[in-house]
Structure formats: C-alpha cells, structure tokens
Amino acid sequence: MVTLYISVGSNIDPETHLRRGVQQLRQVFGEVQCSPVYRSAAIGFTGDDFLNLVVRAQTSQSIAEVHDCLHGIENANGRQRDSEKFDSRTLDLDLLLFDDVVSDAEGIQLPRDEITEHACVLKPLVDLAPALLHPVQQKSMLQLWQGFPQASQPLQ
C-alpha cells in the first residue's frame, strides 16, 4: 500500500461538490483523512473563490489508475474539460504525492509543483502531515510552509 495526497477544490457550488468528491474518494480508497477546508481566490483567472482541502488515502493502485480514477470522479461531478486551463470548476482533483515518487511520466507530475507554489495546497497539506518530507525539496511540509512567502497571511 502507498500513501497518496490529493488536492480537492471547487468554485461552482463548492460545498456540494467537495462533499460529493470526498464521498466518492471514500468509495474508492476506503478510509480517507481530510484537512480543514480553506477559501482562496481563483488563481490565473477572475472567478468565484475556491474551497480547497487535501485528502490523504492509501491504495494499491498504480499512479495511472489513481489518475484515471480522479478524472472519472471529476467527470461524474460535471467537470468540463473543453474550457480554459484556468477556469471555474465543479470539482478539481489533483494527485499531489504518491509516497515519495518523483516522476513526470505520462503527463503526471509528482510531486505536483502546486505544493510549493500555492498556499491553498500547501497549508491543508501541512494540516494533515506537517512532518512529511517533500521528496524533492527534502524539507518537511511545515518547513516549506514556514518559508512560504504568504505564510503570515492566513487563507480566508
């Protein structure tokens, strides 16, 4: 079994879509742990605020199987893939970490750059696993957060 972390976000009826998304993740992975939910401004476009959290789960699935599963859950929640890269979303599920795998194969980047780029990803990850080491940076999530430029500005 491997431990994985998944970023969950929505800015279209976000309470409903986050709830459904987490329920569906539980159906696939069994027990999951969820961070607190944070509100953050849309990144890369003008739109409604997002609600974000991070989920920790365990699986025996491959990276590709998990990736396909996440896309299936997004699709089941009305995710439109023909829109702009940065656009409003019913549900956005991103595989952030898959144990300590470092890879950029088949269009799946691990660990995701968003971990060190966006407070709405890093802060919930810190809540779940402050001592977890980033497989590239070799710093704990808490250390990354403490050095994050916006760490003193709490998320809404």
Q: What pLDDT digit, counting tens, does each position of 103-134 carry?
A: 998 889 999 999 999 999 999 999 999 999 99
41, two tokens: 């401004």
Distance CA 76, CA 6 (A): 17
pLDDT value of position 88: 80
Q: Determine which of 34-43, 70-79, 146-155 has the lowest per-residue pLDDT on average.
A: 146-155
113 three-class SS: coil
What are the C-alpha distances in Å from 71 to residues 47, 52, 109?
22, 17, 15
Between 40-49, 74-83, 124-133, the lowest mean confidence (pLDDT) is in: 74-83
The residue ranking higher by pLDDT, 76 or 82, is 76
Which of 10-14, 22-26, 74-78, 94-98 has the least mean pLDDT? 74-78
Q: Report the C-alpha gap between 6 and 70 in whole angstroms.
A: 9
Start-end of H helices in the chain: 14-29, 63-76, 114-117, 119-128, 141-146
Q: How far is CA 83 from the centre of its chain?
A: 20
Q: Is the predicted pLDDT of residue 156 greater than 90, yes or no?
A: no
Query: Does the reported pTM lie above 0.85?
Result: yes
- State residue 20's pLDDT score: 96
